């Protein structure tokens, strides 16, 4: 039931205690050693908004500021998408995060109020035509216009597994040098960020961190009290000569089974500018002393690493949803990415969008022979009708628009229109899953 709610308000450093209390109440996960200063470094208060509870303390509550009913924040991120003429281009993406609703406020319209507030503010700022998120529960965000745009594979590979790559690739990997160092240093974090951006230039679907978080990205923060016997985060770099060509952020956990080493290597983030660097990193990660297996998180579903290890079954592949994308400005978003070259298009797309009404309507999409596009409003009869979520799902080129006909209700008005746009948006490779944010 929807109730009368206060308008969302900007959150400030003075609200950090209330932010922490709500996050710990909603996620019931407390990180030992994490302070309000850490939280202040991890949240971008420029984009943090909350809905305050309008009344005072309730029975049993301390006589302090009433708790927040909900909050959200966001990061200014980048996203590598198909470019005209081949290759990739990086476009701005607003990364929604920390979406939290107090247990006492569930089913009362708090989430819808916050989601609408967020998307309208992104549109008003005009800094990004796209919004993205990771869904804690995948059934939630489709109703706000987000489409599932990339998938994440988890690979579990036993120690000593032979990674069988073509001979020429193996020879190039032999030329790559690797080294391991602690992640939690200014020099290491700067090198990771530099390599992260370089790899994103050639890796479809990569979500890039802003430079302002180079030294403070929350996923890399190491709280010693929370490690529970695991080692600190480390990073393995790949280099060709003096040039860094890849990196892997990992940590190991010591285990023994009947006197035999059975430790686990957990690889949280792995990026490479080329296949030789990926192979060189992977060969070391699956053959570390005193370990029994290596778990690779956030890998693309067509990852060559899985096939070097023998295929999905030997690699223990499990697949999850990764990035959910939402077009906040439909004509701009459709114009920013590239399309398949050699197949010009001129069609009218009617978009259905209840949350962002400025998107609802008919848009003429014209794609040139080189794959560049422009989109603008039109009164012409549509060639296809689509919910905005279907465009988000197909935007990276991993999920086809044609597949959204039975799943999200894309409707064809001109025969062949859906297939033509679907082929134009399809990428040659599956997008990588997004980094956590």
Please identify which of the residues 72, 237, 339, 437 carries the catalytic annotation: 437
From 72, 141, 250, 339, active-site residue = 141
Is 437 noted as a catalytic residue in this protein? yes
Contacts of 147 (CB under 8 A, 6+ apart): 324, 325, 326, 388, 389, 390, 391, 392, 393, 394, 395, 399, 404, 408
Cβ-contact 195, 244 below 8 angstroms: yes
3-state SS string for the chain = CCCCCCCCEECCHHHHHHHHHHHHHHHCCCCCCCCHHHHHHHCCCCCCEEEECCCCCCCCCCCCCCCEEEEEEEEEEEEEEECCCCCEEEEEEEEEEEEEECHHHCCCCHHHHHHHHHHHHHHHHCCCCEEEEECCCCCCHHHHCCEECCEEEEEEEECCCCCCCCHHHHHHHHCCEEEEEECCCHHHHHHHHHHHHHHHCCCCCCEECCHHHCCCCHHHCCCHHHCCCCCCCEEEEEEECCEEEEEEEEEEECCEECCEECEEEEEEEEEECCHHHHHHHHHHHCCCCCEEEEEEEEECCCCHHHHHCCCCCCCCCEEEECEEEEECCHHHHHHHCCCCCCCCEEEEEEEECCCCHHHCEEEEEEECCCCCEEEEECCCCCCEEEEHHHHHHHCCCCCCCCCHHHHHCCEECCCCHHHHHHHHHCCCCCCCCCCCC
Q: Is 247 a catalytic residue?
A: no
d(CA 248, CA 358): 42
Q: Indicate which residues carry an active-site annotation.
A: 141, 437
């Amino acid at each position: 039931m929807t109730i009368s709610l206060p308008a969302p308000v900007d959150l400030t450093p003075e609200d950090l205690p209330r932010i922490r209390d709500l996050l710990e109440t909603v996620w019931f996960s407390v990180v030992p050693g994490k302070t309000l200063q850490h939280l202040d470094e991890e949240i971008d208060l420029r984009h943090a908004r909350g809905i305050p509870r309008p009344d005072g303390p309730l029975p049993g509550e301390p006589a302090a500021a009433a708790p927040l009913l909900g909050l959200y924040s966001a990061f200014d991120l980048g996203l590598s998408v198909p470019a005209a003429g081949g290759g990739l281009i990086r476009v701005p993406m607003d990364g929604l995060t920390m979406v939290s609703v107090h247990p006492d406020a569930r089913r009362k319209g708090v989430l819808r109020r916050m989601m609408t507030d967020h998307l309208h503010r992104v549109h008003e700022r005009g800094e990004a035509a796209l919004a993205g998120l990771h869904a804690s529960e995948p059934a939630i965000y489709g109703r706000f216009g987000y489409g599932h745009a990339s998938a994440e594979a988890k690979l579990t590979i036993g120690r000593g597994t032979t990674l069988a790559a073509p001979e020429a690739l193996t020879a190039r990997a032999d030329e790559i040098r690797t080294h391991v160092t602690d992640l939690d240093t200014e020099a290491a974090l700067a090198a990771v960020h530099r390599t992260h951006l370089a790899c994103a230039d050639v890796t479809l679907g990569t979500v890039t961190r802003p430079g302002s978080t180079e030294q403070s990205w929350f996923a890399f923060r190491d709280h010693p009290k929370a490690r529970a016997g695991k080692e600190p985060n480390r990073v393995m770099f790949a280099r060709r000569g003096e040039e860094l060509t890849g990196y892997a952020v990992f940590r190991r956990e010591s285990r023994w089974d009947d006197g035999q080493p059975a430790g686990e290597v957990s690889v949280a983030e792995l990026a490479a500018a080329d296949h030789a660097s990926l192979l060189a990193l992977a060969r070391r990660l699956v053959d570390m002393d005193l370990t029994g297996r290596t778990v690779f998180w956030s890998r693309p579903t067509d990852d060559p690493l899985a096939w070097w290890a023998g295929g999905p079954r030997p690699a223990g592949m499990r697949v999850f949803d990764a990035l959910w994308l939402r077009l906040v400005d439909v004509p701009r978003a459709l114009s920013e990415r590239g399309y398949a070259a050699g197949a010009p298009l001129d069609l009218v797309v009617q978009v259905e969008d209840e949350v962002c009404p400025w998107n609802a309507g008919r848009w003429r999409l014209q794609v040139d022979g080189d794959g560049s596009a422009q989109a603008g409003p039109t009164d012409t009869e549509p060639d296809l009708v689509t919910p905005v979520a279907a465009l988000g799902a197909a935007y990276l080129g991993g999920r086809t628009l044609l597949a959204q006909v039975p799943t999200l209700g894309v409707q064809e008005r001109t025969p062949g229109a859906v297939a033509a746009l679907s082929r134009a948006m399809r990428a040659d490779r599956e997008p990588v899953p997004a980094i956590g944010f």
